[in-house]
Structures are given as structure tokens and as C-alpha cells.
Structure 1
Amino acid sequence: SLAMDRKVPLPKELASEKRWKDLPSPKRATLLEIAKYALEKAIPKLDKGTKFNIVGVSESKRFWKRKGEKARGSMISSALSFIKRLRTKPGFDLYGALKNAFNQQKDWDTIYLLCTSLPRGGYYSTATESLPHIYRLLLPSFATLRVRGLLVLPGAGYDQISKLKEEEKVEKIRNFYKDLSQHSYGSYQEISFVLKKSSSVSTGRESKKKKEPFEIKRDKGGRIPYDEWNRIRKKVTSLLSYPKDMEEVKDVLEKVASSNDPRCVELVVQKVLSKDKPDFIFAAIQGLQKTSKPKAVEKLVQLLNRERSSRIRLLLLQVLSRLKGEKVEKALMRVARGKDPKEVCFALQGLMKIGTKRSVNTLKKWARNKKEGLLAYYASLALQKITGSGGPSEVKNPQSFLPKPRSTHVVFALSLSETMGDPVEISKEEYKK
């Protein structure tokens, strides 16, 4: 197992003194430095026959090797050098990283994940939405996920409301990874640090001068005039070409996507969903899912019907799955009758959320097809929700069909999200432990 106790000593490079008793109190280290330290201790302890790989997870995925390498001297040295070079970046596309790992090699049996926040970015708009898809990645090889959370708890200096909000956020992170590890027959452990809120403690991300928030101007009828539309188009194009402030870009994209204007909807789909930028796509999807005006919804359906890129179609299906209306349901039904298994899967999941009695016949077709296990499962779930019966059968004892646990193919996944760069204080007492 990964060598990590409840309290982790500081990395050597952070401690100028040789012994803990000489350290000033408190001493500071970032969460990423602590996670790196844990990996540097764990990897040399792997059995020589164990194949392993390392991936740094942000909005992009940085792998140490293209496939697993045996834990021998030269490879371990190379891995430790790779770990030292990792730096924080925006985003945390966990699903994308695991998918890439299993595309490289199918027989991973153990995955260690070191993280401090919920997954963000990638194809799924929320962490909860990504859960079943992560399960499906792990299931074919019966891979176990062992999560090691580095959580920051609010300490002195927080007012009651802020403290409650932070505690609620931490609890949400904790529950997500407990659920994820439990369903993959793994384990969850955490190291918690208390962060004091004061002027002397920096969060590692200094506040910048506030800019004027982006707002969309409308006429008295609530419509966007042509001049304003032209300004929006130029603004989006400029931000995507030269993205300086990531938060500003995401804010603008979400506001434009949620404007309920067909022109803006088409602009976002063409300019953003076609990009390989998970954070931008996430912001766009968040906005598009707030679409409510009939003309804007109709534009989304039209774009789905004429789109040829499978990737963009899947993203549009994800958006439509959150909207309601007869046209949306009929669009999902058309896709569900198609032949592309991924698109059918997304459409069935959409019908599970918004389907009505008009989609029952389409769902029954898939529910009866036992050869298509996953599609039949989603169709049955949708039927159960719509009609109140016909749900899928459940395995009462999942452990009964699991093979004997083994750890000969291991992936170490390390979150590089910006929050991993946050410093925490470690007192003499904590360091001693």
C-alpha cells in the first residue's frame, strides 16, 4: 500500500534544519510538495516485478511513460525525476486521465489517487456526473482505486459562516471519494491540515485587480441588438485566441452560452466545443444547460442534427439531457435509435432524466436487447423512472465475481489542480508525529 500516514513530515528540500526540533513553528509546505514526498517514499518500495506508471492530472494529462515500466533501479530514478518536475495547472480531469491510462494498457489493477479537490473539467459538467463513467473504466480490469485525500480544514480567523461553507465543501469532497473508492472496491484515507485565515498567511494565489464584469446588453424587449452581438462575437474570438485570464474566459463563455440567444448558442458550439480545452468546454456546457427559450433550444437541436463530429455530438447530447421539451425528447429518441453505441448511451441517459411516455417504445427496444448489457441497463433505468416498473436487476454480492486481488500493475495519479499549490502550516508537534 501507499506509504502515507495521517501526518506527513516535510519534504527534505523544505527543511533547512536537519532535525525536527530545530524547525521554526509553524513550517509551511504546499499540498503538492507533500504529495510528491509521499510518492517519492512509496515508489522505491514497489516489488521489482511490478509495472507502474505516473500521471499528473490537470486539464491536460501528463504521463511519465507511454506504458507501464518495471520497478527497477533506472526506472525508479527516472520516475522520481519526473515527479520533481510536476507543477500545478488549471483543471482536474480525472475521468480523462483514467481513460487515457486504460487506453494505453488494459491490465492496470491498482490506482492510487492523491488529490485535494473534486474533478473539474473534461467531458462531464459535474463530479457526480462523472462517477458512473469512472466506474465503467475500472470495471473491465477489476481495478481498485485507492484514494489519498489531502484536505484543508478551516481554522482560526474564519467567521462562522465562512467556516461552515468550507467544512461543507470538505465534506462534499470526502463523501465523493469515499463513494468512488467504495464502488471500485478500493479504500479512502486522508491527511487533514488546518488553515489559519489571516493577513500573514497567503493562499498562494494572490488577488488581482478586479476587472469590470462582462455583461450582455439587451434592448427593452430583452433581445440582443446587432451591435451588441457583434461585440460578443469579437470578445469570444479574442479571448479564445489569446486567453490571459482563465477565470475571465470561463465567466464570459458561461454568460454567452446562457444568453438564450440562438446566435450565441451557435457561436459557443462552433468556437468552444470544437476546442481541446476542457475548462472552456465545461464553462460552455454549464451555460448551455441553462437554456430555456424555445428558439435557443431549437437551435441546439438543429446543431445536433447537422453535426458530424462524434465528440461535439456527445457534448450536445450532454447539454440536451438537462433541458426539457418535446423537441428535445424527440431529438434524444432519434439518437437512441441510431447505431453509434456512445451516442445511444448518452441519449438513453438523457431520456432517463427527461423522458416521458412517448419514449417508452424506444426504450423497450434496448431494454429487451440483453446482448447490449450497458445500453439495456440504462434503458431499463429510464423505463423504471417513467413507468415505475421494469428496473434492472442488481448483483447482491459483487465480491463473489471479483478475481483475487493483486497489485502487479499500478498507476499513481497525482492531481495538479491549482488548489494543490496552496500552502499549509505544519507545527513542530505535527512534524514530530
Structure 2
Amino acid sequence: MKLILREWPPTPVIDVGINMHALHGAFFRDINDSASQQALKSIHKKYWLLCTCNIKNPAALTVRRINESDYCLVNIQHKGEHKAECPLRYTTMNGQARLHRPIASKAFDFNIIDENIVGSPLIYDVTNGSTQLPILSSLQECLLTEAGVYNIKADQEFTLNLRALEGVLASGIYVNSVELKERFYFGYRNFFSAKERLNNELSNNELKAPIFLVDIVDEVVKQGSTIKFTKYYKNRKPFEFKLFESLSAVSFNSEIQGPYLVVSQLGLIRDKRGKQVIGPVATIIEPIAGKHHWVPVPSALVRNVINKFVGSLAWYKEKVGLEIVVKMNTSTVRTKLGLCNPLFVISAGSCRVVFDIQVDLTSKQQTQKSLEYIVATDIGGGGYCVLTSDMNVREVNDKLFHAVARIMKELYRASAGEKEQAFNGEIIEI
């Protein structure tokens, strides 16, 4: 099942507000299911769906409103065909054509609509702004993954990341049936322009989707009920912006220093007194590896490891002409033998190595972890280093430095041979 625009031939789109996994599993849900009905309502007059049971001639479906509260999914005539075994096909029952109809499920919705005002714009309440944080996180993950920021390279630059992000925006990502590139600003210096645009759309009753701001900032400080972030420039005055937690829902990891990636969703907010203001409805502030590497990091330790890898990447590219890519792994790696969850996958051509860090492991945990890594041998081998909380900073840095150096040296050796595997396909402690 794919989401497509309301046009033919089909144009597939990505809308981060729709959970396609849940949609795939919703075919046999009861038509009286309230969550399913709400999901169909949210898709109504926004998108069509494309069934993928028939690859050569896929069938399109649309949402039809039955009455004031009920919706159903129906086929669109002359726009593709289903296979005989597909549950979405039409069958004949008592002389009438009926659809084995599914009810769609939607986990994310960018709209919080004031149901008391017919035709009202999107209005966000201060008490439920936090519901937008998972949605915003989904959007951020989509943008970063598609832009390839998790692939750490030797010659990565700020402008290259920005161009990659712009390329993703132009690739067909939609929010409320509106192209995201039309609702997107890079740099919080554009906040006031975005605010003015929202105000004009509200005045003309033209607001169809939120506006999003993304920026890279150097410093974030929590001051009472406000969060101030600052962006420094070489030959210009710093730019500062304050978020008011009484209005905005904010997710902020304050334990790690900058730089940070800031992603905000702007909209119309109704405060506790009923006053409406335009501002950030929800904001995610997340530490990244560096201004040249926008990959989010969960800890200072991971940032430290990435920086050590970056130094090695540059050396191997300059000295021996070997292009190595370090990918920070954000999902389970599938192999012929099973699943594994290494922190990094390092590759040079077709040769790959996994690397992980384990902190304060007991013997039992270490054995269990080693068993998990057995399935990683199909990748090409790798290693992990164990750190303990009684190590001082120098000891940690030394161990990480030697671990990264050995990983890179082994990858270089394996990539130079034919059908070689790093570490002979084994996962070892370094």
C-alpha cells in the first residue's frame, strides 16, 4: 500500500504524519473502530491510496464519506486492478458489488483542530502541544535519514549537509497534502518572516499546514521558564532566540554541550487565558557530532568516538586513497543469519566492519552480547570495546583511540585483499 496524490497516473508521496506500517495492518479492522474512522477522515480529500498487490497495474482507492461520522475506502473505477486474492478487490454479494474494505489507521496527525469553530485554522493548545513532539521527531528522522547525515565522511561540510537537506525537501515529502519544501525554512533568523507568513495565511483563511524551522546552533541555556539558544558567527553579531516553555513543548538534552540541531513546528497557539499567539508549537533540540557532521548523538562519548573516526577517515583518504564511510546505526541490521544492533557500521567498498561500545558489562551481559554479535559475522566481522565507570578520561580516550585505529587498520587490510573478511568474520573485544 502506498500513499499517492489525488491524480492519475499515480504519484507516490511521503507524509511523515501517516504511519504506513499501521495502514498496512489495518485491512481487517472493524468498520466501527473509532481510531480507524478518524484515520480515514484525516485522509479524506487529501490523498489516494495505491494497492501494490498487482505490480503491473496497481489499483487506486479513495476515502468516501458515508454520513456525518462514517467513512469507507472504495476503489476508483478505471484506475488499476487488484489480484483475485487481494482483500481490497470487489466481489459480488446478492447481486451487488462490495469491497473487502480495510479501515486505515493513522498514528500521527499534524492537525489539532478546534472542532468548535467550523472551518477554523489549525489551533494548538498549550496543554497538548507535547503531542506534536513524536510527530516532529518522525519528521526529523525522515529528513536526516534521507539526507544521509548518518553517513560520516572525511570531506563532509556544512554546505554539503544543507544541499542534501534541500534535495530531500524537493523529493516529494508532504504535510497535510502540502509539499514540505513550501513550508520549510532553514535558519531561525527566518522566524519573523515565517511568523508574518502564518499571520497572513490566517487572515486570509489560507492556512493548510504548519511551517517548520531547522537550524544548527552553538549554545543552548535553560533560564527559568525559558530556553535560549545562540548561534555564533565569525564576523557578525550572535543570533539569539528564546523559547517560552509556557507556550511551547520542548525536548532538550541539556547534559551534552553544543552544537545542536534545532527543529521547530510553528503554528497558532492558544494560551491558558485564551489568547492566541503565533510561535513554536513544538521544538526538538538535539546535540550533534559537529557543524560538519549533523548526526545526532545520544552522549558525549559517542560524539568523541565519531570525532576519532573523522580524523582516521581523513588520514586514510589522503595517505592511501581509501574512501571509508562510517555509518551511525539507527536500526537493527539484518543479515542472513539473523539480527544485530551495532552502534557503527564502517565500510570501504563492499567490505564492512561493525563496531560497538559497551559500558560496565557484567560477565553475563558480555556473554549475551557476544551471542548477539555472532549473527553479525555475515556482515564481515568487527569488534567492540568495553569501558568501565572507574576509568578516568585519559584511560577512556586511550582505549577508544586504539579501538578505532585497529578497526580502521583491519578494514584497510581486508579491503586490499580478495574476498577477505575483517577479523576473519568474527566479532572480537578490542
TM-score (normalizing by structure 1): 0.23
Tell me: higher relative CO, structure 1 or 2? Use CA pairs within 8 A at least 6 residues apart: 1
TM-score (normalizing by structure 2): 0.23
**Which structure carries more strand by proportion?**
2
